[in-house]
Chains A and B, each alone.
Chain A
Amino acid sequence: MAEQKASTSIEAVESGLAAQGYIASRQIATAVYLSQQIEKPILVEGPAGVGKTELAKAIAAWSGKKMIRLQCYEGLDEAKALYEWKYAKQLLYTQILKDKLGEVLGGAQTLHEALGQLHDFGDVFFSKEFVEPRPLLQALEQPGGCVLLIDEIDKSDAEFESLLLEILSDFQVTIPELGTVSAITPPTVILTSNSERDLGDALKRRCLHLHIGFPEQRLEERIVESRVPGISQTLRRQMVGFIHEIRSLDLKKLPSVSETIDWARVLVLLQATELDTEIVKDTLNVLLKYEADIEAASPQITTFIAKAARSNVFG
């Protein structure tokens, strides 16, 4: 089923994601389509809460693949991301198999011979059985392919980026003791970044670069419509218009799509049918996350509501 979908066009991507409740702009849909066609990872940048992680989830749900998520943080290394040797198991086995080793070596007449026999068994302990696969290796090993989400790559160290390069360009990884593990089915890779740190050129070159900003008013309305079905059309237009006005302010943290959705849910819960100063004041803390921001926005509320209402008349 997944194969059929991959070969369809950009509109199919758009509607496919929409069916999962993810309203994608044309740019997003193009990116997803291209990434499937030319088998390249997508690097998604943009402010927090605009749906970067959601995109990966939606793609996974739409293509019916498993999603494997690697959350990045400072100090993340290959032992956590790629694979690790089960040292304790290795040691335990050596100890337990001590007698067995004696048996194997028993036949040897000379030290040289024993050493030779030992060499033959040397690799036993660095074999597949003793590898603990972490998300990246797991993703490569999925027989049906998967969606690999490498979340907040900008939080990881620069060295970790280099580790990713092989996976991102060739969908394979080299484990010194085992050799190269190639993906059975290349995973769809989504990397997200909040631009906390500049990513390396090598990484960027391997990816399609998608920037998701705050959506346009129409698109945001559609997103709210899909996520919060119970909301009335007037209220939806007013609140999205209001949020667009808020975003024009110079705030510490601008409300993003996730806040829009939260706010819509709150308004539905409060059974509001349209915006008024009172209800906005009461629920502004859903939208704005800093006291200073709320103070800055409060005097403008009435103007913004009026503006939002006016723009609806023309829009």
Chain B
Amino acid sequence: MRENLHRFFRAARGAGVHVSPAESIDAMRAVAQVGVTDRAILRDALLLTLAKSQDEKLALGDCFDLFFSQPEPRQDQPEANNDDTSEDQDQSASSDATSDAGEGQPPEELGPLAQMLLSQDRNAISAAIASASGAASLSDIRYSTQRGIFSSRILDAMGLQRLRDDLDELTATNPALAERLRAALDALREAVRDTVSQGLALYAREEAENLRNEILRNAPLARIERRQVAEMRALIRQIARRLRERYSKPRKRQRRGHLDVRRTLRRNAAWGGIPFLTAWKRKHRDRPKIVALCDVSGSVAQVSDFFLLLIHSLHEVVDDVRSFAFSSHLIEVSDILEKKSPEEAMAEIMSKVGFGSSDYGSSLVDFEKDFMRTLTPQTTVIVLGDARSNNLDPRADILRRVSERSKRLVWLNPEGRLAWGFGDSEMPRYATFCTVVRQCATAQQLERAVSDIVATYQ
């Protein structure tokens, strides 16, 4: 069972549940307590010790069911032992032969695999497959392309070579039996293929996912295919979560610090220095201030989706964030982002100002008119957009004033540098007033940019 549990941990990792060595030790201890005879309790115990969230519990539960629906490899099944590809094969053959004597006895001189196939003992066969999968270390399978090689490895481990020889011999001596054996072999191949597919589902999920994530991470946001959008969102959420964990918001906390001895003594001078009243030091903290302006116009619709998601996470990470969204005019969206879930918030923002044709000039006018006062010398302003203003007046002068009033002005542009300044792109003109201009076209670039911004406040 020990070996089996280790295989299960590996399968659990494949299912996306992070099983650290410490957790596997805990699981071992728990299993030692509850025993393995009651599957339901074993399942509970493993779920309790290994899974750390409801999602993980579901994944692990599925994994458990899939895993334990497989027959256990032979060392755990003493009763299957003698049916197996081993030297006590004669005994098993005779016992099998007596059980289905009506089928005609498999000739004694055949190899163990042929004996087993002809005797049609399903339990023995699946136990043999399981143990051969162990020998071929099926749990190392990572990619779907490896299916063929693992299938043949398993078949080899079961003694395919000997079976081929037997078949050749039988074709000459006993064609009918050879036919039966060939059919059984086909069935066996199929069963092995299924086992390998199951193994792939069990052990390879994580690797495949990592690979896919890696590709997604570096894919241009604007050119994500429809089917990838959901995955991309999950990835951005993951990035947001990581940002949040790393830079978790300094929440409202007690401002009382240590005893202020000097002030205490002074305050109590009237009582001869006996401290009836105590005075406390207060903690001071620089309040981070971020103002984010997000372009949600048609030209960047797909990317702004992800931008908004990230701004949403900014709201969770940093205390003082104000967010604005615009395409042809600008509105404040801080409240929506604070109060609603990412999906709801994005839908609402998009329905209010999204998908229009962008007009940076008038949006900046809106900002100057209503919100210029919110900028202080501590504010970092982030603009997310492609700076394509449909040949309308870009009003770069307002951006200059924004830059002058704030500490930093960061522009994140989803377009590549090559495109800046061509067509209706006003990027070069805006760029002169920005502290930092970065291309921000992939999830990875987005993560780095936001991480840098937030990190300056820690």
Contacts and interface: CB of A to CB of B under 8 A. Distances in A.
Interface of A: 10, 26-27, 30-31, 33-34, 37-38, 40, 45, 74-75, 77, 79-80, 87-88, 91-92, 95-96, 157-158, 198, 200-201, 204-205, 208-211
Given A74-B253, A77-B253, A38 B29 contact: yes
The 6 tightest CB contacts between A and B, nearest first, are A91-B275, A204-B52, A30-B44, A75-B253, A95-B274, A158-B248
Kindly name the residue among B23, B48, B275 whose own CB sees the greatest number of chain A CB atoms within 10 A: B48
Contact of A34 (B30, B245, B251, B274): B30
B48 A34 contact: yes
A120 B381 CA distance: 57
A205 B20 contact: yes
Contacts of A91: 264, 274-275, 278
28 contacts: A10-B34, A10-B41, A26-B40, A26-B44, A30-B34, A30-B48, A33-B34, A37-B30, A37-B33, A40-B26, A45-B53, A45-B54, A74-B253, A75-B253, A75-B254, A88-B276, A88-B278, A91-B274, A92-B274, A95-B275, A96-B274, A200-B245, A201-B18, A201-B52, A204-B52, A209-B51, A209-B53, A211-B57
B52 A205 contact: yes
A88 B275 contact: yes
Contacts of A205: 20, 22-23, 52
A208 B400 CA distance: 55
A30 B41 contact: yes
B259 interface: yes
Contacts, number: 87
Given A27-B44, A34-B33, A88-B278, A209 B252 contact: no
Interface in B236-269: 241, 244-245, 248, 251-254, 259, 264
Given A26-B44, A38-B30, A95 B273 contact: yes
B101 to A, nearest CB: 47
Contacts of B23: 205
A131 to B, nearest CB: 15
B331 to A, nearest CB: 26
Contacts of B274: 91-92, 95-96
B252 A75 contact: yes
Interface string B265-289: 0000000111110100000000000
A34 B249 CA distance: 35
A10 B35 CA distance: 12
Interface string B64-100: 0000000000000000000000000000000000000
Contacts of B45: 30, 34
A198 B57 contact: no
Contacts of A96: 274
A34 B245 CA distance: 30
B49 interface: yes
Contacts of A92: 274-275
B52 A209 contact: yes
Interface residue range, chain B: 35 or more
A157 B57 contact: no
Contacts of A33: 33-34
A34 B34 contact: yes
Interface of B: 18, 20, 22-23, 26, 29-30, 33-34, 40-41, 44-45, 47-49, 51-54, 57, 241, 244-245, 248, 251-254, 259, 264, 272-276, 278
Most buried by B among A30, A79, A87, A210: A30
Contacts of A208: 48-49
Contacts of B44: 26-27, 30-31
A95 B273 CA distance: 7
B48 A210 contact: yes
A74 B250 CA distance: 10
B211 to A, nearest CB: 23
B254 to A, nearest CB: 5
Contacts of B259: 87
A86 to B, nearest CB: 11
A45 B55 CA distance: 12
Contacts of A37: 29-30, 33
A96 B18 CA distance: 58
Nearest to A9: B34
B62 to A, nearest CB: 15
A31 B53 CA distance: 15
A205 B272 CA distance: 53
B10 to A, nearest CB: 19
A207 to B, nearest CB: 8
Contacts of B251: 74-75, 157
Nearest to B33: A37
Contacts of A38: 26, 29-30, 33
Contact of A211 (B26, B54, B254): B54
B234 to A, nearest CB: 15
Nearest to B241: A198
A96 to B, nearest CB: 7
Contacts of B244: 198
B237 to A, nearest CB: 11
A210 B30 CA distance: 14
B36 to A, nearest CB: 14
Nearest to B316: A197
A80 B53 CA distance: 29
A177 to B, nearest CB: 13
Contacts of A10: 34, 41
A209 B17 CA distance: 13
Contacts of B48: 27, 30-31, 34, 208-210
Contacts of B273: 95
A88 B276 CA distance: 7
A247 B43 CA distance: 27
A80 B20 CA distance: 33
A45 B245 CA distance: 19
A230 B53 CA distance: 38
Contact of A157 (B22, B253, B272): B253
A15 B54 CA distance: 27
Given A37-B29, A87-B259, A88-B275, 17 more contacts: A10-B34, A27-B44, A30-B45, A31-B48, A33-B33, A79-B254, A91-B278, A157-B248, A157-B251, A157-B253, A198-B241, A201-B18, A205-B22, A205-B23, A205-B52, A209-B52, A211-B57
A10 B41 CA distance: 9
B245 A198 contact: yes
B171 to A, nearest CB: 57
A196 B326 CA distance: 31
Nearest to A39: B29
Contacts of A77: 253-254
Nearest to B23: A205
Nearest to A25: B44
Max chain A C-beta neighbours (<10 A), residue from B44, B47, B251: B44
A312 B259 CA distance: 66
Given A26-B41, A88-B278, A91-B264, A34 B52 contact: no
